[in-house]
Structure 1
Amino acid sequence: MIAAPDPARPVRPGWVRVDCHLHTVASGDSVMTLDQLAERVAAQRIDVVCLTEHNHLAASAEELSRAVGARVVPGEEIRTGSGELIGLFLTERVPYVLPARAVVERIRAQGGLVCAPHPYDPLRNGVGAALDAMCAAGWIDAIEVFNAKIPDPEHNQAALRTARAHGLPGTVGSDAHDPAGVGAAYLEMPDFDGPRSFLAALHQAERHGEHRPHAPHFGPGLRR
């Protein structure tokens, strides 16, 4: 079950509201500036955003948090030879089009977490059928089990089944590329102070989200 987003409802004490996947203009296919993100985060009462630019690390956590006015986890959505992976809690950019194993090693070397975004959505370059083997090999820390831009709920459900089969926690993200998308999906979870406590808190997280059928696509041939 996933609950509908309700920004007016208070978050319980000691918990935070987290959007685990979104993009600004730095991704190249988003129209959202940092200023617009800041406005939307405040309006939707999001406490933490994971800024996952395409093949780009925007800035440090401190710089991004000051710009957004909320806590930011720096991340990167990275194109690998097997499909896209997300690195969270990054301090250095990971090059794209490396083999997936090399990307995982580079994320882990800087203390980051590896997440598999939209793994089964045919409209996006997820890792798809390779996910099960990646999980079995211990490469994946978390799986995106709800992405607000996926039109077929079965693709999110398949990700949730894989996460449960491997005992992995699930993330939730708006995958917003425009201001209106921020808040379409988020987690409410215990507060955390780093990658390990984030991972532990994910196991207690409550999922909130809804599909955005009006989510725009930006640029010719882009299907983000």
Structure 2
Amino acid sequence: MILPPDTSRDVRPGWVRVDCHVHTVASGDAVTTIAQLAERVATHRIDVVCLTEHNQLAGTAERLSGEIGARVVPGEEIRTGSGELIGLFLTERVPYVLAAREVVRRIRAQGGIVCAPHPYDPQRSGVGAELVELCAAGLIDAVEVFNAKVADQEHNRAALRTALAYGLPGTVGSDAHDPDGIGAAYLEMPDFDGPDSFLTALREAVRHGEYRPHAPRYPRGPS
């Protein structure tokens, strides 16, 4: 179930509000500055931001958290030979256009987790038809089951069905590329202190989101 966003109220004690998929100007096809992200995160009372720049790591958790004013999980949205995958809790950049299995290996080698973003939306470069094969091989840790930029909700529902079929937790994300997109989708979930507890907490998460036709595709700069 996806509930409408409502950041006017507090989350329950011991829980946090998390956007699992956010971009800034560092992605090359987004316009949100760090200052704008900090302002929007404060306005929408987002506690944790998974900063998932395209094909690069924006910085350390400590530096980014200080700049944004919310806890940051460093991540990367990585173009693979099969489509895009997200690595979270990263400490090193993963190169793009490697085979998906090699990208998974590199994410996990640094203690990160692998998420499949917008897998079935034909307007975005998800892993699509290969998601089932990747899940069956144990290569996916979580599936993005709601992306606020996906116009056809059947594509989000299909991602949820695949996650359920393989017993995988689901993430949601605004996939914001401009300031207005921030707050379009988030999880309310138990607080966590690392990759393992994040995956455990995802299974209790309450999902909030709405389709928001924000952030038209800007020309992507050099990766």
Q: TM-score, normalised by structure 1?
A: 0.97
Q: What residue is the counterpart of 1:173 in the other structure?
A: 173
Deviations 1:21-77 (A, max 9, x none): 010000000000111000000000000000000000000000000000000000000
Q: Percent identity?
A: 78
1:114, 1:214 → 2: CA distance?
Answer: 26
Q: How does 1:1-224 map to 2 (within 5 A)?
A: 1-219=1-219
2:214, 2:120 → 1: CA distance?
Answer: 21
CA contact (8 A) 2:181 2:214 kept: no
Aligned residues: 221
CA contact (8 A) 2:16 2:189 kept: yes
Runs of 4+ in 1 over 2 A off after TM superposition: 213-217
2:180, 2:128 → 1: CA distance?
Answer: 28
1:197, 1:115 → 2: CA distance?
Answer: 15
Q: CA deviation at 1:216?
A: 2.4
Secondary structure, counterpart of 1:36 in structure 2:
helix
2:172, 2:35 → 1: CA distance?
Answer: 23
Deviations 1:162-191 (A, max 9, x none): 000000000000000001100100000000
Q: CA deviation at 1:214?
A: 4.0
Structure 2: gaps spanning 5 or more residues: none
Q: CA deviation at 1:100?
A: 0.3
Structure 1: gaps spanning 5 or more residues: none
1:179, 1:206 → 2: CA distance?
Answer: 23
Across the aligned residues of Structure 1 and Structure 2, the Cα RMSD in angstroms comes to 1.1
Secondary structure, counterpart of 2:3 in structure 1:
coil
2:40, 2:113 → 1: CA distance?
Answer: 26
CA contact (8 A) 2:73 2:89 kept: yes
Secondary structure, counterpart of 1:183 in structure 2:
coil
2:137, 2:174 → 1: CA distance?
Answer: 28
One-letter amino acid of the counterpart of residue 16, structure 1: V
2:29, 2:113 → 1: CA distance?
Answer: 24
Q: CA deviation at 1:213?
A: 2.4
Q: TM-score, normalised by structure 2?
A: 0.97
Deviations 1:142-180 (A, max 9, x none): 000000000000000000000000000000000000011
One-letter amino acid of the counterpart of residue 124, structure 1: R
